[in-house]
Amino acid sequence: MNFLAHQFLSFEIEPIMVGNFIADTVKGKAFEHYDPEIQKGILLHRFIDTFTDSHVTTLQSRERLYAHFGKYAAVVQDVFYDHFLALNWSDYHKKDLNEFTDFIYSTLGDYRSVFNERAARTFHYMHLQDWLGNYATQEGIDRALTGLSHRARFPSNMEESLPALSEHGKAISNDFKTFFPDLIAATQSKLVEINS
């Protein structure tokens, strides 16, 4: 899952939101240097990634995209899933998407002092360019994946995401709608475990 889903799955618990946001920039046991409540967000992020990477429906989505993107199919699938979350936002959250993203930017901004350099840079551009809100548009998805293609270590074809979205969008949207309730339930259970 990408930034929007990870923030959704933080359930508006501020330290969890922060840990979930910075998790990809915190390697190995370095998470132990953070406040215990932020550590929970980092661990929750790792759980979400592991659950997603092993779910049969997610693997099905990646198989649909493999011919287009090879080993980068997982990256594209993550962004496409955030796209379908944004498009179907009212099915999952009582807040309007813009209201939710404003809350995310404001809350994360209050915690910038704990961000490492990479997280601070990511947050700056995420807020400036409204990555979270832009997941709802094809233009936003195209921009996100084109940016990722420029940072990829190998040729990825991610800058050509819109034809794949057009070809497989309906099937991947259905995959997402099957998968996401499972992820919500698993994440809620993990959060109870982490807090016990």
- What pLDDT digit, counting tens, does each position of 11-33 carry? 999 999 999 999 999 999 999 99
Phi–psi pair at 193, nearest 5 degrees: -60, -45
Q: What is the mean pLDDT of the chain?
A: 95
Among the residues of 55-160, which ranges form H helices? 56-69, 73-87, 97-110, 117-128, 131-134, 138-151
Task: Give me the amino acid identity at 174.
Answer: N
* Other CB atoms within 10 A of residue 114 CB: 15
Q: Is 56 exposed, middle or buried (0-12, 13-18, 19+ CB in 10 A)?
A: exposed
Does residue 153 carry a pLDDT above 90?
Answer: no
pTM to 2 decimal places: 0.95
What's residue 154's pLDDT?
86
Q: What is the pLDDT of residues 129-141, one digit of tens each?
A: 999 999 999 999 9
Owning domain of residue 85: 3-195
Domain count, the chain: 1
**CB distance 28 to 121 below 8 Å:** no
Single-letter amino acid code for the residue at 181 = P
Task: List, for residues 48-92, the tens digit of each pLDDT value.
Answer: 999 999 999 999 999 999 999 999 999 999 999 999 999 999 999
The answer, yes or no, to whether residue 103 has pLDDT greater than 90, is yes
